[in-house]
Structure 1
Amino acid sequence: MHFKVAAEDKTNHRYSGVLVHPTSFPSPYGIGDMGRGAHEFIDFLAMAGQHLWQVLPLGPSGNGNSPYQSYSVFAGQTLLISPELLIEKKLLTEADVHPIPEFNADRVDYDKVTTYKTSLFKKAYEHFRHTADKNLLEEYDSFQSNNQYWLDDYCLYMAGKDYHNGLPWYEWEDSLLDPTPKERASWMKLLASEIDYYRFIQFAFFSQWYELKDYANKKGIAIIGDIPIFTAPDSADVWANKELFKLDSKGYPLEVAGVPPDYFSATGQLWGNPLYDWDAMKDDGYRWWIERVRNQLDQVDYIRIDHFRGFEAYWAVPAGEKTAMNGKWKKGPGEALFEAIQKALGEELPIFAEDLGIITPEVEKLRNTLGFPGMKILQFGFDGTGESTFLPHQLSTRNCICYTGTHDNDTTCGWYEHTNEQNKDKVRRYMNTDASSVSWDFIRTCLGTIAKYAIFPVQDLLKLGSEHRMNTPGTATGNWEFRYRSGLLDEGMAKGLKQMTELFGRWG
């Protein structure tokens, strides 16, 4: 089934699906991966009559293990590589993976997982270096050829980080911080083995990911990816494209990204990402963004762009500020960026706009002009006793995505447990329920809205509480660690979800 359709689909189809990052899948290796747990999840979606699977950004996570602070917006998160699938490819043996450390089945211990999996990847790389499998070698050559735009920069950057014991690139010596062609060639030679290793594990990631995507598409499941609007300061993207960012002569940001005080934080959110030099990007024909979107649309079927409002105007905070309160709004590239991307790719863009937070008429106009669906969060509709544009009867367009909650929200059960009694009463009366299965009440309500797309986190399917939320904005620890156990998404749940989905005319 082919899903490359415009985001503003004029048909009457209605879709629904589940938000879960692959790190959350069941696996004996300490973190979800692209092996058995991922395939069983896709089987569950198909059995449950769902047609969408939404993930978080798939890049290699950096600071705080956040997928929104990645070492590269092009590369893959290699911790998601399945040891079982490497064994099938004869890149590992059963003996290589044992003994498997005792991992927490409910949380990801990133340090412990990284230590274990890195040892496996080193073994797999040694097997690969001596392989006689011509098909595998041809696939590897093809991968390198198809990813030239970013692959060498990323692998040199990662090898450079290893060489400098993890220091950020802006603390490296000048010959690698901003190398001449001759200096770059010298570093490529010095770090050749390490660079080749990073090429290999990226090849392993994308080989498994494309097989998984193909499996999902053949089951009628489209994948919604996620693009953070900004890049991490310590990333291959900034290091290799300094001229496209607002940096000083040493590589430090002049201003950083964030948002002013909002629902999630009274002092705003200080993200710390360097800001784009949009004039430089325009002069370059927005080439970096074109390649970024091209790369993402090769990996997924739809893209959710995080912090879409930043393309109309973004919150710029002077470097060195302790909170985001003293920033100011600056104009973004607007329509011109997306017109350039669409012209280059030659197709309408299947993009979802994360349009939460401080949304002005100018942001709404940009979203509507481009035809991108925006987001409606049911929890927000019941966070107060008055009217809200997030309530189902206030939805004004089909061209939107209704969520029970997102990765940044508490789980629905957790939200209901901790909200005030007036809000609880509003939920019970609005949904005509005793709230004994409140997360499923929210799912049912979400499915019943006019929204073309309905999405709910896996935690809501499993009726999980606050201790299982994915992320708490504004906190630095304990995030991105959620896992669920094998067998919880069972046939009975699939049957119930399918009946509810069909009742509300979601595409089946």
Structure 2
Amino acid sequence: MVKTQFTQQRCAGVLLHITSLPNRDLGLDAYRFVDFLVEAGITIWQILPLGPVLKDLSPYQCLSAHAGNPNLISLQALVDEPWFISPASSIDLSNRKWVLNQAYRYFTAYASKEDRERFAAFCRDQFWLKDYALFQALRESQNESPWFKWSPNFRKREPQALKSAAKRLRILVEKNCFEQFIFFQQWLNLKDYANKHGILILGDMPIFVAHDSADAWIQPAYFTLDENGQLITVAGVPPDYFSATGQRWGNPLYRWDRIVADKFQWWVKRIGTTLKLCDMVRLDHFRGFESYWEIPASSEIAADGRWVKAPGAALFHALEVCYGALPIVAEDLGIITPEVKALRDQFHFPGMKILQFAFEGGIDNPYLPSHHVENCIVYTGTHDNDTTLGWFDSLPDEKRHYVYESLGFPTMSMPWALIECAFKSVARYAVVPLQDILALGSEGRMNIPGTAKGNWRWCFNWSQIEQDLPARIYHLLKNYNRLQ
């Protein structure tokens, strides 16, 4: 059983993915960022999914629901390992693939008995690792082509073909296992450092897996795929405030009848992995656990879909049996029905309130501070929004005036006026993207939903952190009773 944590006190968090750190990895910048959060009185560090990504870099289209992204491994920490015998000063850290290959060779040749035993234990304990490592090895040996384009013997996982491939690709398979060992070691060391300094990690779990993922290849019967691995139906959302035409995500949907018949074991294992890596987890697209938007794979537009019921309550009951009270945050944005709200509230999951959405539609707008409740997280914006300054600057003059009027004409300018509003809220949790804390414009935006290029690349540099910034944040948190 995984022990879970969920603070019940008023507190504040910062949203920043690992790839937005200056070195974009789990090295010294990550530890320095924890120190910054501690100095500022922040309690929660919210991140995006940690899985290995495809070429578009989206952390919501990962190659595995369990594996970590090897690109997040700190190469500097790796070359500082005692078994890495080349002097660190002689290593070109810009060549990531070479360094990881060299690290595997050195570990194999020079690691201590204790390190080798820890590696062996890790490989035994990760039920998903053997299949994932072979999946990645096959994918790399075939120029990274997606599994559903492989030859039938590999695509359909014929036992003799897989046995032969595992033997032929043994070194590559072992190297993939080694990289996961290093990732988990570095991540859990960072998490331990954060926890010991009073920082909880709020992770993120996409509801769906990518079509080109180890999960879909290993257990295709759980997904809406035909016998050749091709999509039958795909996930997405109808038109909403993020997109006037809706979004066709392209992920396979679940065959919930088969998952239910298996007593939700696929989900039990998935949640178990995530709860080992994070203290709390945000379930992306929570409404899909009540009803999901099913789009025929042959349709190119999301509007051709329909709503289909999902067994969310039965799933969460099964997860509670395994893990107790679930430290889950429900991403309840989009088209939210009374049934979705009832599912969220049945399990006491905090929902989300986005302040950038609060100033449309009049006094009934559910994102207005007057409609906040204690059991929710209030955000100025998320990774899918423009920065608060970018959003505000894009508004016409009369709308900007209305925003300030609605906030009671605060003395602070944007984005700090909206940050203060978040901290004032009755919501137990208030989370602010680092881009807003740094008062960045649209150049700091992380993602534009519905677009495939240019996203997930933003990162900050330490020169942007002004010396008095932690004290300013600490003062606001103290004023609004968010220190712990």
What TM-score comes out, normalization by structure 2 length?
Answer: 0.96
Measured at CA, do residues 100 and 145 of structure 1 come closer, stay the same or move farther in structure 2, by a change above 3 Å? Answer: closer
Partner AA of 1:130 in structure 2? A
Q: Which residue of 2 aligns with 1:25?
A: 21
1:341 matches 2:319 = yes
Q: Which residue of 2 aligns with 1:134?
A: 113
Question: How many Å separate the matches in 1 of 2:302 and 2:402?
Answer: 34
Q: Which residue of 1 aligns with 2:329?
A: 352
Q: Which residue of 1 aligns with 2:44?
A: 52
Question: How many Å separate the matches in 2 of 1:73 and 1:94?
Answer: 36
CA contact (8 A) 1:97 1:120 kept: no
Trace 1:152-163 onto structure 2 (pairs within 5 A): 152-163=130-141
1:489 matches 2:474 = no
Measured at CA, do residues 99 and 117 of structure 1 come closer, stay the same or move farther in structure 2, by a change above 3 Å? Answer: closer
Q: CA deviation at 1:468?
A: 1.1
Q: Which residue of 2 aligns with 1:363?
A: 340
CA contact (8 A) 1:91 1:125 kept: no
Q: Which residue of 2 aligns with 1:274?
A: 252
Partner AA of 2:268 in structure 1? I
Q: Which residue of 2 aligns with 1:379?
A: 356
Q: Which residue of 1 aligns with 2:32?
A: 40
Measured at CA, do residues 427 and 97 of structure 1 come closer, stay the same or move farther in structure 2, by a change above 3 Å? Answer: farther
Partner AA of 1:285 in structure 2? K
1:321 to 299, 304, 312: 299
* SS of equivalent to 1:325: helix
Q: Which residue of 2 aligns with 1:70?
A: 62
Measured at CA, do residues 231 and 143 of structure 1 come closer, stay the same or move farther in structure 2, by a change above 3 Å? Answer: same
Trace 1:398-409 onto structure 2 (pairs within 5 A): 398-409=374-385
1:467 matches 2:463 = no
* SS of equivalent to 2:283: strand
Question: How many Å separate the matches in 1 of 2:66 and 2:91?
Answer: 32
Q: CA deviation at 1:349?
A: 0.5
**Structure 1: gaps (5+ residues):** 102-115
Question: How many Å separate the matches in 1 of 2:109 and 2:361?
Answer: 63
Question: How many Å separate the matches in 2 of 1:476 and 1:385?
Answer: 33
Q: CA deviation at 1:77?
A: 0.9
CA contact (8 A) 1:37 1:486 kept: no
What TM-score comes out, normalization by structure 1 length?
Answer: 0.92
Structure 1: 4+ residue segments shifted above 6 A: none
* SS of equivalent to 1:229: coil
* SS of equivalent to 1:85: helix
* SS of equivalent to 2:384: coil
Measured at CA, do residues 91 and 472 of structure 1 come closer, stay the same or move farther in structure 2, by a change above 3 Å? Answer: farther
Q: CA deviation at 1:88?
A: 2.2
Measured at CA, do residues 248 and 393 of structure 1 come closer, stay the same or move farther in structure 2, by a change above 3 Å? Answer: same
1:388 to 365, 373, 384: 365
1:301 matches 2:282 = no
**Structure 2: gaps (5+ residues):** none
Q: CA deviation at 1:441?
A: 1.2
Q: Which residue of 2 aligns with 1:106?
A: none
CA contact (8 A) 2:156 2:228 kept: no
1:238 matches 2:225 = no
CA contact (8 A) 1:409 1:472 kept: yes
Question: How many Å separate the matches in 2 of 1:303 and 1:317?
Answer: 27
Which stretch has the larger CA shift, 198-207 or 123-132?
A: 123-132
CA contact (8 A) 2:21 2:460 kept: yes
Trace 1:68-147 onto structure 2 (pairs within 5 A): 68-90=60-82, 92=84, 93-95=86-88, 98-99=91-92, 116-147=95-126
Q: CA deviation at 1:46?
A: 0.4
* SS of equivalent to 2:248: strand
CA contact (8 A) 1:58 1:67 kept: yes
CA contact (8 A) 1:408 1:470 kept: yes
Question: How many Å separate the matches in 1 of 2:90 and 2:338?
Answer: 55
Question: How many Å separate the matches in 1 of 2:144 and 2:57?
Answer: 15
